[in-house]
Structure 1
Amino acid sequence: MSLKPWREIATPHKDVLAGTFKQSEFAADITQVASGTAPAEYQDAEQFFARTYITEGMRLLLISVAQRLAGQGGDPVIQLQTAFGGGKTHTLLAVYHLASRKVPTARLAGIPPLLDEAGITDLPAARVAVIDGIKLSPSQPRRYGRHTINTLWGEMAWQLLGEAGFEQLAASDRDGTSPGKERLTELIRQAAPCVILMDELVAFIRQLEIGKSYPAGTFDSNVSFIQALTEAMKAVPNAILLASLPESEVEAGGTMGQRALEALEKYFARVESVWKPVATEEAFEIVRRRLFENPGDRDEVAEICRRFADFYRQHGDKFPVETQSNAYFERLCRSYPIHPEIFDRLYEDWSTLEKFQRTRGVLQYLAIVIHRLWNSDNRDALIMPGTLPLDDPNVRTKSIHYLPQGWEAVIEREVDGPTRCRPKSTATTPASAACRQRAGPPAPSSSAARRRRPTRRSAASKPAASSSAPSSRGKRSGCSRTCSSVCATASITSMRTATATGSTPSPTCAGRWRAASGTWTVGKWRNCSSAG
């Protein structure tokens, strides 16, 4: 009996099917939400939570926010620090929708049990101030009616209490000097319950050159403001500050960015609670909710994944030890219709690339992949490493987007171009076996398969005893799509070795065969046709 294709079980969201999604839409913009101009999936609180998987880190954070606003404890200051695309802004949006209470909490997916856990029966609506360091400019004041606002503290006061709030800090705003802790405490007490959300704060402060004065104040006055604000938040039991900070020097942005980050971290570290970023296992559900309208019937998914897991256990000597436990079956179910090895490679290998944006980058990449596979009538049981359509220009471009120049030639000559490598060896190695298995004729009957010596397979291969081996579809000779994706993953993964050693990218595969994934791990440069 053949395994049912993933496309007959899972249904992607309409924008993924139609290819109408925009890469920028995977990057949440908190200022657009605050101004009411964001796409519906971010602007509408019900849609937002329906598509949001509440991770362990987000759950604990939202509980702390709810407790703080209800005056029942909670942290006064929370620092969100992770790499590009790690979910900082998305988490701030969750807090925004929860605190603003524009939609009753009973209609927000996942929120009622969270409030029950926090012991809160009536969450008060809070005033929310959004300070976006990218949207604000130190040298360009903003006009609100008859008022000109220069500084971060003037902007915060206006958003919290309008004209009355701004008047309390007008002199400090005009002079570009930080208001003291007492003045800020009084302002926040009047606004409470309130939430202050600061996104990309480093991006704003790094523009302030040392020793130079701006309408927004000086570097020192802005850092002093953050110090006073964090201290003031502790004095008001139903007010909370959340600030996102970059994790790496690259994201911080040069020498001034690093100096700003170090100064802010020093003051946040005195009072803050650090947010827990997204774990790889949690990414399964995050991606499924955003990309798939219906990830499939639970029983059908379990049947497919059980067949894969059983096959791995039946051939345990050919596969890594992690595939032999029931936990691997559960991983298959959680990641369906995407094989968990794809997530592992993206989160474990690609996340080491400084410009790769983790969850955001994974969403952007897989949205392109799924759109192409759906429209090309892909009928694999799972979306596996060998399924990735590297012959598609958009997928190919995204695959090398985060790498140094020179990798287009690698894919063109070795992976999925007209001059790519052809297997020369007939030896039964893991690589050549996988290549021939994919490109060869239909699989023999189950009885013939039992008489035949089994070849070593990838854990990302389709179980042969219960399905037909996919052919090369008559489109290519030589390397199959599986072999191509193996080579591509090797090249992309091994980029770090080439960069670290000063090597020049060359049209070769690299390293050691990873039986669980059908990929190569980082190692010496080797030719595809003789690897093994």
Structure 2
Amino acid sequence: LVGALRRLTFGGGDPVVQLQTNFGGGKTHSMLALYHLFSGIAPTDLAGIDAVMQEAGVSTAPTARRVVLVGNKISPGNPSVKADGTVVRTLWGELAWQLGGKQAFARVAADDENATSPGDVLRELFNDYGPCLILVDEWVAYARQLHDQSDLPAGGFETQFSFAQVLTESAKLAKNCLLVISLPASDTPGHSHGDDVEVGGTRGREALDRLRNVVGRVESSWRPASAEEGFEIVRRRLFQPLSDTTQFKDRDVVARAFGEFYRTQQAEFPAECRESEYEQRIKAAYPIHPEVFDRLYTDWSTLVKFQRTRGVLRLMAAVIHSLWEKGDRNPLILPGFVAIDDPRVQSELTRYLSDNWVPVIEKDVDGPNSLPMKLDSELPNLGKFSACRRVARAIYMGSAPTTAAAHKGIEDRRVKLGCVMPGESPAVFGDALRRMAGAATYLYQDGPHYWYSTQPTVTKLAEDRAEQFKREPDKVAAELERRLKKDLASTGDFHRIHPMPQTGSDVPDDLDARLVVLGITHPYSKEAGSPAELAAKAILENRGNTPRIYRNTLVFLAADKTRLHDLDEAARKVLAWQSILADEAHLGLTTHQKAQVTQQMAAADSAATARLPETYQWLLVPAQNTPQAAVTWEALRLSGTDALAVRASKKLRTDELYLTSFAPTRLRMELDRIPLWRGHHVAVKQLVEDFARYLYLPRLKDPAVLLHAISDGVNLMVWQDAFGLADRYDETAARYLGLRGGTLVHLADAHSPALVVKPDVALKQMDAERNGSEPTGTGAGPGDNTGGGTETGNGAGDGVGIGAGGTPGTPPAAAKPKRFHGAATLDATRVGRDASKIADEVIAHLVGLMGATVTVSIEIEAQIPEGAPDHVVRTVTENSRTLKFTSQGFEKE
């Protein structure tokens, strides 16, 4: 309120404020306070505003134009007709109309009609109609209704976030405009997904993340109603304030008595109770014990329907009224004193849980026929304090809302904290706890932890087992891998698919294009450096310890991070039902239960099958625009109902990122663009290597696609638009052998030594041969033939003309080396490393030479002073024979 007054009066303060809480946290109340503050009402009519205005340094609150946009009250598909006849379709149209009526709306009318986000006109409106207060509530509820396509009057999903950015930036730049936006909390404990009920599933999660990202650039976040503030809120709403010294003295005496009790019985209660700070908490929460608030704010507030502070107020109002009616004289309200048997209290405690908790309460927690009442009546030492009843209530308050949690239950020391008062023996309540655990039908125990659960039906048993599989991620991963492999049996246009490789060494370095499906430990998200992108990059760059050569053959499929939870849950449910099916004899299931297991198993299997394509929806494609450019990653979202690999290949083909056919004219364009020519020609096998290696070239399904393109280009009647083809180049005669163009050829060998020849060079040789003369050297042009004799070319330099009189036209070129030989001694412990380096740095250059024949042999000599054991001799001999050594053997001397 102070910041709002300063902003709308002086233009200072934060222009954009985000109210961030979950259900019942006070967002709407905060907006209502702002709405009334700037309504023009006299400050004296508003309680507590004098202090706010004094702190803000203002004498009066300015009257502001107020705009209220509530997402669940505005339909994106049904335009609103105003009293003046204005038809409003979009949020920005509604904002403009509320700000200045028909006249202001006219300035955004075109954007409203076309559902396009307005630009700087918003800032102009804010300045012209300022001071103005813009309140936006339930924006996520509005945005999640929009479609990806702009087929609604309110526009598309993406347009909404463009508007959000324009709105926040305009409010920031305007003179005296305050924009207040409420978004559900998405990062508070127990609300990791922003509370799906309030957010609205996966679409709502995405909308929330996008809105928080946009608003977060300029906003000042404010989180009202913390757990500690809940003490004061409940006290103010449900109790009159302490007014005289006697009441304060009573409070201090009670707090001191409890503090001393916890310090003298340290082993019986949680560690934090012995600290003096806990005594201060008792004073702050008086007359309610802090443990009540801890359970409500820590455990019960994890239930979305509980609505945090609102839920605490509803429940405590019922509890306090029940205790007041009964004339309760206890010094504090502990969890053990919550009258769960009172219908009003029970209603508040069960309305947030499933219906089957009522029989649990009636049998094992509280009520005239409950087990605690029976034990208290049978055992006077327990009944004196209603120990079993208080223990049962404390366990219920601390465990009922967390039965689905991985770590269930409430610790025994915390149970005692919730029901023991000074002057009572904790041992009595420990005895009550043990008796309850041994006799109760619904009370579970795991070491020192206790919790209530509903009837362990087959469904409940499956849920428990599915929860247990969280601790066995290897089994879940194996199930997902099995399902992936089954789905990937349909390979689409890919020759091979590599599912869930552990490292780059699991992905061979081959010439044909393949799909690599990353495991669930490497999900994709749009944040920079996502696990999927890092894993894909590692596999792309290396195969094990060796740099990957053929990088333009891999594309990657990854799981969506936000949907991975649903897939993991579906897989765990399948495993849970499978385990129950396997244990049906041991579990003693009835016929009906067996039928239920079979039916649920089929449903779980179907759900997991459906979740797989919903989760694996991101294609990661490495790209490089030019040889000098850095490698970038393009993320493509898949859609459709086909198998994963089929969807992936369709998407890649549509975006021309994966070619199953290749036009010869496009091949010629790539030859000239990079360029890929090596002089006047390039070897077919070199082109195959180039297209498999370099990311700036089109990605081909396999070498056959390139071979067909070459064949088609040579077969063209206008082959001059493409290229020629030769068997090889004769350096002595300086001519191409087997040169053809415009004739039918068929290439099938990716390692063919044939040459793709530039069309102008090929045509020049063909014309020369057609005219009956020898062709000139094709390295750089014809030589000087002044003597009228014949010419020969060395194929690399200028042609050398020999006149009739035997006088040379130009000096002969220097002879080139024809052979190479080399030997190296390798480290016997690091042969793989050294041999790989020699292959990359030496052999690769020699193999790439036209017509070169390269032979590499390995010679091994081992001196063994102590002699080789029999098993080593046998292993080495068998392996040498398997590896086809030309000669091998051991010698005794």
Give the structure-1-normalised TM-score. Answer: 0.70
Task: Give the alignment partner of residue 309 of structure 1, picking from 243, 255, 280.
Answer: 255
| C-alpha distance 154-438 of structure 1, shift in aligned 2 (>3 A) | farther
Q: Report the RMSD for the aligned CA atoms in angstroms.
A: 3.0
2:199 aligned with 1:257 = no
* 1:319-358 pair list within 5 angstroms: 322-323=272-273, 327-358=277-308
1:175 counterpart residue number: 114
Query: Is this contact kept in 2: 1:295–1:336, CA < 8 A?
Result: no
* Alpha-carbon distance in 1 for matches of 2:108, 2:351: 46
Task: Give the alignment partner of residue 117 of structure 1, picking from 55, 68, 81.
Answer: 55
* 1:245-324 pair list within 5 angstroms: 245-247=183-185, 248-250=194-196, 251-292=198-239, 294-315=240-261, 316-318=263-265, 322-323=272-273
Residue 272 of structure 1 and its aligned partner are, at CA, apart by: 0.7
2:843 counterpart residue number: none
| C-alpha distance 526-245 of structure 1, shift in aligned 2 (>3 A) | farther
State the SS of the aligned residue for 1:198: strand
Percent of residue pairs bearing the same amino acid type? 43
State the SS of the aligned residue for 1:274: strand
Residue 249 of structure 1 and its aligned partner are, at CA, apart by: 4.6
What amino acid is aligned across from residue 231 of structure 1 in structure 2? E
2:124 aligned with 1:225 = no
| C-alpha distance 273-526 of structure 1, shift in aligned 2 (>3 A) | farther
* Alpha-carbon distance in 2 for matches of 1:263, 1:124: 34
Residue 290 of structure 1 and its aligned partner are, at CA, apart by: 2.4
State the SS of the aligned residue for 1:244: strand
What amino acid is aligned across from residue 211 of structure 2 in structure 1? L
What amino acid is aligned across from residue 436 of structure 2 in structure 1? C
Aligned residues: 412
Query: Is this contact kept in 2: 1:347–1:358, CA < 8 A?
Result: yes
Residue 154 of structure 1 and its aligned partner are, at CA, apart by: 1.4
1:459 counterpart residue number: none
| C-alpha distance 485-164 of structure 1, shift in aligned 2 (>3 A) | farther
Query: Is this contact kept in 2: 1:410–1:491, CA < 8 A?
Result: no
1:506 counterpart residue number: none
State the SS of the aligned residue for 1:131: strand
* 1:355-434 pair list within 5 angstroms: 355-422=305-372
2:47 aligned with 1:105 = no
State the SS of the aligned residue for 1:372: helix
Deviation per residue, 1:73-111 (Å, 9 max, x gap) = 111111112211111111111221222232x22443332
* Alpha-carbon distance in 1 for matches of 2:135, 2:82: 20
Residue 278 of structure 1 and its aligned partner are, at CA, apart by: 1.8
Query: Is this contact kept in 1: 2:373–2:389, CA < 8 A?
Result: no
* 1:20-169 pair list within 5 angstroms: 62-102=1-41, 104-145=42-83, 146-169=85-108
Deviation per residue, 1:15-35 (Å, 9 max, x gap) = xxxxxxxxxxxxxxxxxxxxx
* Alpha-carbon distance in 2 for matches of 1:489, 1:227: 49
Q: Point out which structure has higher relative CO (alpha carbons under 8 A, 6+ apart).
A: 1
Structure 1 gap segments, 5+ residues each: 1-61, 426-431, 441-470, 472-479, 504-508
2:124 aligned with 1:186 = yes
* 1:453-464 pair list within 5 angstroms: none
Query: Is this contact kept in 1: 2:300–2:401, CA < 8 A?
Result: no
| C-alpha distance 140-437 of structure 1, shift in aligned 2 (>3 A) | farther
What amino acid is aligned across from residue 398 of structure 2 in structure 1? T
What amino acid is aligned across from residue 391 of structure 2 in structure 1? V
Structure (1 or 2) with the larger CA radius of gyration: 2
Query: Is this contact kept in 1: 2:64–2:130, CA < 8 A?
Result: yes
* Alpha-carbon distance in 2 for matches of 1:109, 1:326: 35
Query: Is this contact kept in 2: 1:413–1:420, CA < 8 A?
Result: yes
State the SS of the aligned residue for 1:493: helix
* Alpha-carbon distance in 1 for matches of 2:21, 2:175: 27
2:419 counterpart residue number: 518
| C-alpha distance 436-283 of structure 1, shift in aligned 2 (>3 A) | farther
Query: Is this contact kept in 1: 2:37–2:61, CA < 8 A?
Result: no
Residue 126 of structure 1 and its aligned partner are, at CA, apart by: 1.2
Residue 241 of structure 1 and its aligned partner are, at CA, apart by: 0.6
Deviation per residue, 1:350-400 (Å, 9 max, x gap) = 223343211111111112223333334434333332332211122112213
What amino acid is aligned across from residue 161 of structure 1 in structure 2? G
* Alpha-carbon distance in 1 for matches of 2:308, 2:244: 27
Deviation per residue, 1:137-179 (Å, 9 max, x gap) = 1122222121222211111112111222222222222222221
* 1:191-202 pair list within 5 angstroms: 191-202=129-140
2:773 counterpart residue number: none
| C-alpha distance 278-259 of structure 1, shift in aligned 2 (>3 A) | same
* Alpha-carbon distance in 2 for matches of 1:360, 1:488: 22
Give the structure-2-normalised TM-score. Answer: 0.43
* Alpha-carbon distance in 1 for matches of 2:151, 2:238: 47
| C-alpha distance 68-280 of structure 1, shift in aligned 2 (>3 A) | same
* Alpha-carbon distance in 1 for matches of 2:316, 2:251: 20
* Alpha-carbon distance in 2 for matches of 1:117, 1:326: 33
Query: Is this contact kept in 2: 1:312–1:323, CA < 8 A?
Result: no
